[in-house]
Amino acid sequence: MYNTAMKTKYKKGISRLCPIRLGLSLIAALVILLQRALRGNYPVMRWLSGHFVRPTLQKLGEYSARFPFSVAEALIIAAVIGLLFYLFFCVESVLRRGRLFRQIYRLLMTLLCFALLIYAGFCVLWGVYFYGDDFMTQSGLKAEAVSTEQLRTVTDFFSSLLNETAGEVERDETGACITDRSAVLERSAELYAALEEDFPCLQGAPLRAKGVKLSRLMSYIDFTGFFFPFTGEANVNTDFPPSLFAATVAHELAHQRGVAKEQEANFVAVLACLRNDDPDFIYSAALLAYSYLGNALATADRTAWEEIYATLPDAVLRDLEVNGSYWKRFETPVQTISNTVYENFLYSYDQDLGLRSYGACVDLLVNYYYESALQYLDALRAQEESV
């Protein structure tokens, strides 16, 4: 009788500690610590990136592609609803049974376990990429420092490309771009086909990006898209103005093909879009490239930037205005907090540029397109002189 009572009391004591949640939390914490400890071991990170992470994400992406909706969004919504129900259950249990401190402990253990498991999975399925071979290493391209004259030349090249393609995309009565986002998503599966031969590191299954239903919420936290490693999906905000939508799709698909760093994903997005013969992708990529190049040139040589800016057609200026007006509506404390959190995330993976990583693609663009820009602009001037 005594032994049975002691055993029962012991089991109840153990159960109060939430052993399953505690055990899973410890395992997740060990995985996180192991990944951090191995960050400096380049051979291990490189092997994991190529032989485990990339194939796993590819399989997850192929499986998720069977569903017409974003599986990532569905899982996030389900997780939020589940946590809210669990919180309600905890409150109801306290009101009915008491034991406030026990319920608080169980709630905290549940939240801790959930957070650690998510972060551990993220460290393995995405964080490893930051310490293996990046796109520049695999492609052999260089991102050397550039001169102001080179920056001006490439900025001029993209402004000329905008002049050529601005009239090829659909526009509304105000002159703003109204690209069909659904059509862009459908065509996105083949976007990288033209790049795969020249850049084998970008090879992958032809998977399309997916639009997010709760896109307005994404705008509040200043996100135009995200790659979700647990489903291998490229997810895109479908609420912001469509002029930069196609380039954003290309950016998220770059992540899907193993390009982790933001500056490289922007560069690869431009590269993929310009290799395509689709006007929507070409115009959007040219606008994205010009935005970064123009901002850099305005700092380096204000006069040169003003001269190039003056050549932009009204349609391009209208798209820039629409984009600026849209995002201004979401300049709230929520957006500031979101940017701070994401910037700290980039820092945590040794991305020292933080959010400025998005502008670091300027050097990549100038290095890659400078010679082509010279030839293009020379041919354009010769054509104008002959007329």
Confidence of residue 102 (pLDDT cuts 50, 70, 90): confident
pLDDT, one tens digit per residue, over 254-289 is 999 999 999 899 999 999 999 999 999 999 999 999
For the cut 50, the answer to whether the pLDDT of residue 247 exceeds it is: yes
For residue 190, the model assigns a pLDDT of: 95
Average pLDDT score over the chain:
88
Confidence of residue 385 (pLDDT cuts 50, 70, 90): confident
Residue 364 and residue 259: Cα distance in Å, rounded? 14
* DSSP assigned state of 41: -
For the cut 50, the answer to whether the pLDDT of residue 299 exceeds it is: yes
Let me know: does 234 contact 256? Beta carbons within 8 Å: yes
Residue 286 and residue 7: Cα distance in Å, rounded? 71
For the cut 70, the answer to whether the pLDDT of residue 19 exceeds it is: yes
Let me know: does 267 contact 368? Beta carbons within 8 Å: yes
In percent, how much of the chain has pLDDT > 70? 87
Amino acid at 175: G
Mean pLDDT of 359-368: 85
Beta strands in 230-328 (DSSP E): 233-237
For residue 94, the model assigns a pLDDT of: 73
R_g (Cα) of the chain, nearest Å: 25
Amino acid at 266: N
Domain boundary assignment for the chain: 2-131, 144-386
Strongest mean pLDDT among 67-71, 330-334, 351-355: 67-71
Mean pLDDT of 94-103: 74
Whole-number Cα distances in Å, 111 to 50, 199, 276: 32, 42, 45
The values of phi and psi at residue 370, to 5°, are -60, -50
Let me know: does 343 contact 229? Beta carbons within 8 Å: no
Whole-number Cα distances in Å, 266 to 2, 170, 261, 304, 363: 70, 24, 9, 24, 12
Let me know: does 236 contact 249? Beta carbons within 8 Å: yes
Confidence of residue 351 (pLDDT cuts 50, 70, 90): low
pLDDT, one tens digit per residue, over 47-82 is 999 999 999 999 999 999 999 999 999 999 999 999
Q: ∠23-29-30 over CA atoms, to 5°?
A: 90
For β-strands 210-212 and 225-228, DSSP reports them as: unpaired
Let me know: does 243 contact 162? Beta carbons within 8 Å: no
